Amino acid sequence: MTYDIAIVGGGPGGYVAAEEAAARGLSVVLFERDLVGGTCLNRGCIPTKALLHDAAPQADFQAIHERKASVVTQLRDGIERLLRQRKVTIVRGSATVESAGVVSCDGQTYEARDVVVATGSVPATIPVPGIHLPGVYTSNDLLEGEGVRVSSIAIVGGGVIGVEFATMYAQLGACVTILEAADRILPPLDREIAQRVTMHLKKRGIAVEASARVASIEGEPGSMVVRYADRRGNERLVEAEGVLVACGRRANTEGLFGPGCTPELSHGALVCDEAGRTSVAHLWAIGDVVAGNIQLAHVAEAQGRNVIAAICGNKPLVNMDIVPSCVYTSPEVASVGLTEDEAKAQGIAVRTGKALTGANGKCLVEGSESGYAKLVADAATGALLGAQLVCPRATDLVSELSLAISLHCTAAQLAGVIHPHPTVSELVSAAARTLVP
């Protein structure tokens, strides 16, 4: 049988593309060598958020990992049921793209008019002696099965994974140190967010060392030593029961292509146009495997829908210009659109408006930690260009701002919408009002 579409990889990019294609009446074969749901569902977004929700010093470590597993299983069962209902053929095994339109798996050959690669990414490693020792973990190791119970942890990399795991292990009562190479944690986000999150992490007892150069890792599980140079070049060390390395993720293309298929790659990632076309006709790619992509599950999902629309000759279904990003610290962090610095770098004159959690009734009632909502608007037109939030439920509130920015709303229009009282969402209208003359 020749399928309309073959999809390699069943993560948020791949399974959403499969659903979208099948809903349009196309015949679909989906290859997955591990578990449907990919990194996000099985060892990423969902398990971390379940653990962050339950982690507390008195928490039963085994029980919180069991609940995490039951959440993951329920969601995975739902996705598999939906794919079966839509008559997607799921092939379990490691697929190889032999040529445009031909995929092999476990000795069988499958033909398809178009092939979509959605194989995601794997944790990147860094060239540091001792990086492969037992006792050095990736986020996969800490999320799978019963997790890794440690009373102290050194985290190399203060990006999103680093700060979320720092938050979780600190909530469990562990002694946590973050070693970040850049001059601040969460380097792509607004500087003020990094300062605020650093302050909150330190308040929770987490040591944060920015501009740290990790030199070596030694020891054995339960007794590890990380040596590094601090910002002044002084040699220092951290002792911890375990080490998490969270220094980014790299595209997963190893062994993916047969000798007859040589799409253009950049550092192992697939080079694509905006629609997801690779350099080989009828071969497409979406999600973390794409060179230069923002590595977020919701980006992969959106590209999953858009690539099927493109294959069908239709316009994109989802606007890829506005991509919110979220960090599940306490309080939460969310950002969308331009920061003040980015706008200035692009030569756009902006005004910023800010509202503090200290003046918000709901935040005070809940005793939430200090934070803010900051809006960035075009100085000439008042059009909203960006928003940065550090506050309770920031990761939900950011959707209103994503919509406002994508519809080119002005601060005055946002301020003109009634926000219910008392809610954290009033931070948004309060920040918008400061921008209205």
Binding footprint of ligand NAD on the chain (CB under 6 A): 126, 156-162, 164, 179-182, 187, 214, 246-249, 295-296, 325-328
Give the nearer residue to ligand NAD in terms of CB position, either 167 or 429.
Answer: 167
Residue 316, burial from CB neighbour count under 10 angstroms (0-12, 13-18, 19+): middle
Orientation angle between helical segments 12-23 and 297-311, nearest 10 degrees? 30
421 catalytically annotated: yes
| Nearest residue to ligand NAD, scored by beta-carbon proximity | 159
β-strand partners of 58: none
Q: What is the DSSP string of 206-252?
A: -EEE-S-EEEEEEEETTEEEEEEE-TTS-EEEEEESEEEE-S-EEE-
Give the nearer residue to ligand NAD in terms of CB position, either 91 or 212.
Answer: 212
Give the nearer residue to ligand NAD in terms of CB position, either 119 or 352.
Answer: 119
Do 139 and 156 touch, CB atoms closer than 8 A? no
CA-wise closest residue to 178 among 130, 250, 246, 126: 246
CB of 320 to ligand NAD, least distance (A): 16
CB of 122 to ligand NAD, least distance (A): 10
CB of 379 to ligand NAD, least distance (A): 30
- ω into residue 331 within 30 of 0, thus cis? yes
Q: What is the DSSP code (8-state) at residue 63? A: H
β-strand partners of 284: 116, 277
Give the nearer residue to ligand NAD in terms of CB position, either 156 or 285.
Answer: 156
Give the nearer residue to ligand NAD in terms of CB position, either 103 or 217.
Answer: 217
Give the nearer residue to ligand NAD in terms of CB position, either 99 or 140.
Answer: 140
Compute the distance between CA of residue 265 and CA of residue 283 in angstroms, rounded to an integer: 13
**Beta-carbon count within 10 A of 55 CB:** 18
**Rounded alpha-carbon distances, angstroms, from residue 66 to 17, 73, 141:** 30, 10, 15
Give the nearer residue to ligand NAD in terms of CB position, either 136 or 411.
Answer: 136
Q: Which residues, 6 or more positions from 217, have their beta carbon under 8 angstroms from its beta carbon?
A: 128, 129, 130, 131, 133, 136, 224, 225, 226, 227, 243
Amino acid making up residue 366: E
Do 418 and 391 touch, CB atoms closer than 8 A? no
Entry field: residues in the chain: 437
CB of 307 to ligand NAD, least distance (A): 20
CB of 247 to ligand NAD, least distance (A): 4
CB of 277 to ligand NAD, least distance (A): 23
Radius of gyration of the chain (CA): 23
Give the nearer residue to ligand NAD in terms of CB position, either 14 or 101.
Answer: 14
Do 190 and 340 touch, CB atoms closer than 8 A? yes
Which of these is catalytic: 132, 267, 419, 421? 421
CB of 107 to ligand NAD, least distance (A): 34
CB of 40 to ligand NAD, least distance (A): 9
Quick one: CA torsion of 337, 340, 346, 350, rounded to 10 degrees? Answer: 100
Phi/psi at 258 (nearest 5 deg)? -75, 170
Give the nearer residue to ligand NAD in terms of CB position, either 287 or 386.
Answer: 287
CB of 132 to ligand NAD, least distance (A): 15
CA-wise closest residue to 327 among 87, 108, 49: 49
Residues with active-site annotation:
421
